[in-house]
A and B are shown apart, each in its own frame.
Chain A
């Protein structure tokens, strides 16, 4: 738990430790206002940077190559009415969901199995550790060969992205259970099955939820590489519904730079939404950790 805690709430908590804060009420409203200000400032920097040749006389490095917010907005406005763009959203969401669910459904049991059984851990863990450093991208050719359909190949690459995190978090969570809790449960007459489903399965929930939050982020990172497999699905138009990852690649090939940014921002939003949904769910399931 400790090792993984950084992802969820540690940012807020750690900052309180590092920066002694003035004793002032910190309301949710204030935090939201600050978030809005941050978005506005970021947009402003983007606008100034991308138009620097005009107002500064020479292009600022890197940022001046970025399409202006205006051009991106125009491209986006056009795409909003394009059903192909929304099909891409749908396609990517389905792939992320399938790959991610598969990673949770297989990764959590494998992690728990390794935590509970020494022989299983001794056999599986070395192989696991050897496979883990292989980046999801490197699995793309193998995935194409392995799986009968294009869609399954994409799902598989996404699955690889989240799988290791899920296994490690389930394993770490189960390893981190206070042995005294197990002793006390056994001395109160709990059977092995009781200990598994009343203790282990409950105690690992926070660390599995953290794993899911990290994992779903990785799946959105992987989606671009995975969707290069697809080659766009049906048509050749820039918004044919091949998925958001493919959409970006295709916009690059087609030379439509504002659309690249639209695609990037879309993935950002999609990832943000999935993480937020997971966090909401996590807060419901782990009310007991709030007070610790």
Chain B
């Protein structure tokens, strides 16, 4: 952090990947109920997952299956009723013990949560400034550099309300990465975007992830999105949420848009879809609402 304000990129190149990668998550028997008494619903049932450090791990499942519950437990927004979650070998949360909120795990929300009264640059610089890890001027310089790296030069002085939803979403990812999180938690971040913007965002996310050595835990119900982004894709069962199947996406990074027409990609999508579809039917039968 002494010479250049942007150490992240350069240090990632200097060190062998094995030493830099962090963000391994072990979820063991995670269980979560909602409500109490007679209306108590089992949302997540003894769900176990192993997310490897540095990978893009995608969780797919029907709407309302409890994917977000898992993510919120990792983030520290609520507690589990049973099971444990470890991050890089350290206990993050156990039964009835909420994970500490911390900048090692930053969430990118579905509908965006940029501070509307701050400029794009101030939004991105927020984390290091409030944590006191960088002086204000350094934080702003680093934020400007990260925005430029993400192809967002020229938006620094705009307010979020003045930019498109695609730009906002990218800014939000950059803002999260400013905190150098071990894990980036993405909760259907591109759900509200149109198909064209979405495909641009996918490539942007892959490019950003390739430069930064952290884990990305990505939640979606869009199978194509899952296969295009994910190193591995976990399909979850409908309520209660449990691991149904993990698929290895053996298409090497960097992935170009063109792979979506390849046979391997289509096969993987078809395979995932058939697994997801069973669960979607079950969810439909239960009358699960969107969400």
| Bind each other | yes
Question: How far, in whole Å, are A274 and B103 apart by their CA atoms in the complex?
Answer: 46
| Chain A residue with the shortest CB-CB distance to B119 | A288
List, in ascending order, chain B residues with CB within 8 A of A264's CB: none
Question: How far, in whole Å, are A287 and B158 apart by their CA atoms in the complex?
Answer: 10
Number of B interface residues in the complex (CB < 8 A): 27
List, in ascending order, chain B residues with CB within 8 A of A234's CB: none
Cβ-defined contact, B103 with A189, below 8 A: yes
A188 in contact with B161 given A289-B116, A292-B116 (CB within 8 Å): no
A183 touches B (CB below 8 Å): yes
Per a CB cutoff under 8 Å, which of A181, A190, A205, A289 touches B130?
A190
A184 in contact with B117 given A190-B130, A292-B161 (CB within 8 Å): no
Q: Is the interface of A mostly helix, strand, loop or mixed?
A: helix
Cβ-defined contact, B117 with A189, below 8 A: no
Interface string of B98-129 (1 = CB under 8 A from A): 00011101110101010111100000001100
Cβ-defined contact, B105 with A187, below 8 A: yes
Interface string of A176-220 (1 = CB under 8 A from B): 001011011111111100100011001101000000000000000
A288 in contact with B159 given A187-B76, A189-B102 (CB within 8 Å): yes
* B49 CB → nearest A CB, Å: 20
Cβ-defined contact, A291 with B159, below 8 A: yes
Cβ-defined contact, B159 with A191, below 8 A: no
B278 touches A (CB below 8 Å): no
Interface string of B133-172 (1 = CB under 8 A from A): 0000000000000000000000000011110000000000
Question: How far, in whole Å, are A194 and B131 apart by their CA atoms in the complex?
Answer: 10
User: How large, as a class, is the contact surface on chain A?
Assistant: 20 to 34
Cβ-defined contact, B113 with A180, below 8 A: yes
Question: How far, in whole Å, are A286 and B161 apart by their CA atoms in the complex?
Answer: 12
A135-187 contacts to B (CB < 8 Å): 178, 180-181, 183-187
Interface string of B62-99 (1 = CB under 8 A from A): 00000000000001110000000000000000000000
Per a CB cutoff under 8 Å, which of A191, A194, A203 touches B117?
A203
Cβ-defined contact, A178 with B161, below 8 A: no
B179 touches A (CB below 8 Å): yes
Cβ-defined contact, A187 with B130, below 8 A: no
* B123 CB → nearest A CB, Å: 10
A241-292 contacts to B (CB < 8 Å): 286-292
List, in ascending order, chain A residues with CB within 8 A of B102's CB: 187, 189
Cβ-defined contact, B115 with A188, below 8 A: no
Question: How far, in whole Å, are A66 and B168 apart by their CA atoms in the complex?
Answer: 58
* B139 CB → nearest A CB, Å: 12
Cβ-defined contact, A180 with B109, below 8 A: yes
Of B75, B101, B117, the most chain A CB neighbours within 10 A belong to B117
Q: A187-B103, A289-B161, A292-B161 are in contact. List 8 more A-B contacts (CB 8 A).
A: A184-B109, A187-B102, A198-B126, A198-B130, A202-B115, A288-B117, A290-B161, A291-B161
| 7 nearest A-B pairs in the assembled complex, by CB-CB distance | A291-B161, A188-B127, A189-B131, A291-B162, A292-B161, A180-B113, A288-B159
Q: List 25 A-B contacts (CB under 8 A).
A: A178-B113, A180-B109, A180-B111, A180-B113, A183-B77, A183-B107, A184-B107, A185-B115, A186-B101, A187-B102, A187-B106, A188-B103, A188-B106, A188-B126, A188-B127, A188-B176, A189-B127, A190-B130, A199-B115, A202-B115, A205-B117, A286-B117, A288-B118, A289-B161, A292-B116
